[in-house]
C-alpha cells in the first residue's frame, strides 16, 4: 500500500476535501479525498450518515467538503474499490492522507496497512506487539474503531485471539462480508 504522506504529516487545517457516495458490495460508501490522497471512507452512507460525515470532515479539516462525484481525486479510489469488491484487486495502491489520525492510532493503522495482506487476519494483541506495545490490545481495538480509512486500511482483518470477530465500526455483518470476500470466512448461504 502506497501512502504518500510522512509519519507526522498529511493535510493541514483549511484543506479542501472532495467527496462522493459510491455503491459497493457492502452498501453505499462515502469516499473523501484531499490533494494528498484518500482521507476518509464511511460505511452505510445514507443521507443522515452523509450529513454527519461531511460535518466531521468540515470540523477536522477546517474547510467545507465539496460533493464531487466526478472528481479526479476520487476516480482511482472508486476504481480500486470496485475492483476489490469484484474480487480482482488484492492490494490497494492509493495515495492516502493520514491527517485524520495521529500518534499510536496512526502507527497501528500504518502497520495494519503494510503488514496484514488480503486473505489474512491478525489478533489485536499481535498487532500491538508488532508496534512495540505488547500490552496494548485494547488500544489497538480503539485504533481500529477510529480508523478513518476502513476497507483500504483493513481493520476488518483484526480479530480476537480466540477466533472471535471482535468489534467493527461498520457492524459485524459488514466485517463478516469483507472477510468472506477475502476467503477468510465461508460465504454466507443466503
Has 37 been annotated as catalytic? no
Q: Which three cell numbers stand for residue 109?
A: 493503522
Q: Which three cell numbers stand for residue 66?
A: 465539496
Q: Which three cell numbers stand for residue 19?
A: 467527496
Alpha helices in the chain (DSSP H): 47-61, 72-85, 103-115, 124-130, 137-145, 172-181
CA angle 150, 107, 169 (to 5 degrees): 25
Give the chain's length. 190
Q: Report the distance separating Cα 39 and Cα 21, nearest Å.
A: 14
Q: Provide the edge-to-edge strand list for the sheet that holds 66-67.
A: 38-42, 29-33, 18-22, 66-67
Question: Which positions ≥6 away from 124 have C-beta within 8 Å?
Answer: 137, 138, 140, 141, 144, 158, 159, 160, 161, 166
**Of 81, 155, 158, 179, which residue is the catalytic one?**
155
Please choose, from the candidates 65, 30, 64, 26, the residue with its C-alpha nearest in 3D space to the C-alpha of residue 47.
30
Q: Which residues are the active-site residues?
A: 155
Amino acid at each position: 500500500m502506497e501512502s504518500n504522506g510522512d509519519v507526522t504529516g498529511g493535510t493541514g487545517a483549511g484543506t479542501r476535501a472532495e467527496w462522493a457516495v459510491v455503491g459497493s458490495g457492502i452498501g453505499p460508501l462515502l469516499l473523501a479525498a484531499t490533494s494528498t490522497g484518500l482521507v476518509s471512507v464511511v460505511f452505510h452512507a445514507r443521507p443522515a450518515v452523509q450529513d454527519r460525515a461531511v460535518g466531521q470532515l468540515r470540523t477536522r479539516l477546517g474547510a467545507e467538503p465539496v460533493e464531487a462525484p466526478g472528481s479526479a481525486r476520487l476516480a482511482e479510489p472508486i476504481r480500486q474499490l470496485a475492483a476489490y469488491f469484484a474480487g480482482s484487486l488484492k492490494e490497494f495502491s492509493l495515495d492516502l492522507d493520514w491527517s485524520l489520525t495521529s500518534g499510536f492510532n496512526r502507527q497501528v493503522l500504518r502497520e495494519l496497512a503494510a503488514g496484514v495482506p488480503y486473505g489474512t487476519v491478525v489478533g489485536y494483541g499481535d498487532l500491538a506487539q508488532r508496534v512495540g506495545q505488547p500490552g496494548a490490545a485494547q488500544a489497538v481495538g480503539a485504533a481500529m474503531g477510529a480508523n478513518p480509512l476502513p476497507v483500504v486500511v483493513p481493520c476488518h482483518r483484526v480479530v480476537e485471539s480466540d477466533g472471535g470477530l471482535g468489534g467493527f465500526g461498520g457492524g459485524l455483518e459488514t466485517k463478516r462480508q469483507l472477510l468472506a470476500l477475502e476467503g477468510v470466512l465461508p460465504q454466507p448461504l443466503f
